[in-house]
Amino acid sequence: MSQGFSFRVGTALIVGAYAAIMSVLVFGVGRDLWQAVGHYEPQVSWLMSETTVARVAALKMAGHPGAAALYALTASLSWALIGALTAGGFAWGVVHKGAAALGVAKALNYLTAIAALYAMAGLTSAALHALRLPMQDGGLQSIPGLWFATMIPSAAILARIGALIAHDAGVLVAICLEAEPQRLARLVAEAEASHGLDSMEARLARLIARRRPAVS
């Protein structure tokens, strides 16, 4: 439990530091970030490469090459944070094989919520394009400061969720590969005690415990 708790605290500190440092950098160095740029159409998400291309191009056309470079850098670092914490979480779970940091049910709930948010963003973008309402004359979605203000915290949230899910996946993979009877029994007992006999975690643990000895 202490290992899982330490991992949760560690990822929280990392993403918190990232959000604080990037916020100071962007809003301290950036110029004219709260002035709407012209010839920019709403995009679905900063996670898409097309969004980065469109926003960088809009900033350059508006005469803000510095802000364009800053946006490209922030997007790259945000992706690097997500990738590094996800990979690190999986490795940590494989090595330590501690208690689950998140749990199957919470992981599925988080993934569902994220998918729903981006589905709503996609529908909103499609509706704006269908209505032919590009933000050529300004508007909330064409203000660079808001791009950064949404990118940085969402990157931190996605990085932490990815790390926790990857950590739990690493724990399960390591336990399955080793197939130690005592560890499998402890996995089932911990899942049932923490989440209940009928929980998804308990059912998954029992499934793993039943199948692994037969395979080995």
pLDDT tens-digit series, residues 180-191: 777 777 777 776
Cα Dmax for the chain: 66
pLDDT tens-digit series, residues 142-180: 899 999 999 999 999 999 999 988 988 888 888 777 777
Cβ atoms of 72 and 26 closer than 8 Å: no
How many CB atoms are closer than 10 A to CB 131?
8
* Domain residue ranges of the chain, discontinuous segments joined by +: 2-177, 179-216
pLDDT at 216 over 50: no
